[in-house]
Amino acid sequence: MTLEILTSDDLNGIRHGFFTRRGGASSGIYAGLNCGPGSSDQQQAVTMNRRRVAEAMGVTPENLLSLHQIHSAEVVVAGPEGWSERPKADAAVTTTPGIALGILTADCAPVLFADADAGVIGAAHAGWRGAFDGVLEATVDAMEALGARRDEISAVVGPTISQRNYEVGQDFLERFMDEDPDHGRFFTHGTREGKYRFDLPSFVLWRLRGAGVGSATWIRACTYAEPDRFFSFRRTTHLGEPDYGRLISAITL
């Protein structure tokens, strides 16, 4: 099966891709394009999958850079030398051609950024915690420090869990409401008392627009709802499976 790569017109002229699970070498619960070295999948299969992604992105396998993601607001700059060990961070920015910035997700929001005229790109992993703590704003700040203009930055949110499939508890709601009562707009009532549904993609878009980017859009694909296309941590948990695959989203100059 060939790779399935979702793209956005908002990043037109910049090579990028939100890769689905289709077209990979992994099997079993990881079947398809599992690109997570932190998973319990056979590392040979993960390496092969990442090599296919690198080829699709037009970079060498060692220049497909991903992070040791920790649900933080930490951003790193990728220079020409890349890195030998994955830094603990949740976003990366660069002005170096030939390097692809990769983000791994399985329900959290992957966000790809570009100021094409300035030649600055970024990629961020935005789960609820990272988005809440400011990883998106930090990525825009880091791009600006490299010469981007925030009002010229296009940001695209890739496949992520949708509100319909993201049920949370009372403590989760209260954390958001304590920070800003206006956060109530991102919640609806859940299936039973004390449960709510959280709209992660809308929250991410709201934070991006608040950061002043030129455009912010969602590719409108739900990881939970399409098991044949996307890995999902929450779906895996509901099924009682021992582990899950990781999707990759990448961007390069």
The model's pLDDT over 174-218, given as tens digits with 9 standing for 90+, comes to 999 999 999 999 999 998 899 999 999 999 999 999 999 999 999
The model's pLDDT over 218-252, given as tens digits with 9 standing for 90+, comes to 999 999 999 999 999 999 999 999 999 999 999 99
pLDDT at 247: 98
Question: 84: pLDDT confidence band, cut at 50, 70 and 90?
Answer: confident
Q: Evaluate if residue 1 carries a pLDDT over 80.
A: no
**Percentage of the chain exceeding pLDDT 90:** 96
pLDDT at 54: 98
- What contacts 114, CB < 8 A, 6 or more positions away? 11, 14, 16, 120, 121, 122, 153, 154, 251
Separate counts of helices (H) and strands (E) for the chain: 6, 14
CA 128/CA 182 separation, integer angstroms: 16
CA 197/CA 34 separation, integer angstroms: 28
Mean pLDDT, residues 51-62 taken together: 98
| Half-sphere exposure (Cβ direction) of 85: Cα atoms closer than 13 Å | 2
CA 251/CA 61 separation, integer angstroms: 14
pLDDT at 186: 98
CA 25/CA 13 separation, integer angstroms: 29
Q: Which of 44, 55, 13, 49 is nearest to 34 (CA)?
A: 49
Q: Evaluate if residue 68 carries a pLDDT over 80.
A: yes
Give the DSSP letter string of 212-239.
Answer: T-SEEEE---BTTT-TTT---HHHHHHH
Question: 152: pLDDT confidence band, cut at 50, 70 and 90?
Answer: very high
Domains in the chain with CATH codes: 5-162+199-252 (3.60.140.10)
Q: Evaluate if residue 57 carries a pLDDT over 80.
A: yes
Q: Evaluate if residue 131 carries a pLDDT over 90.
A: yes
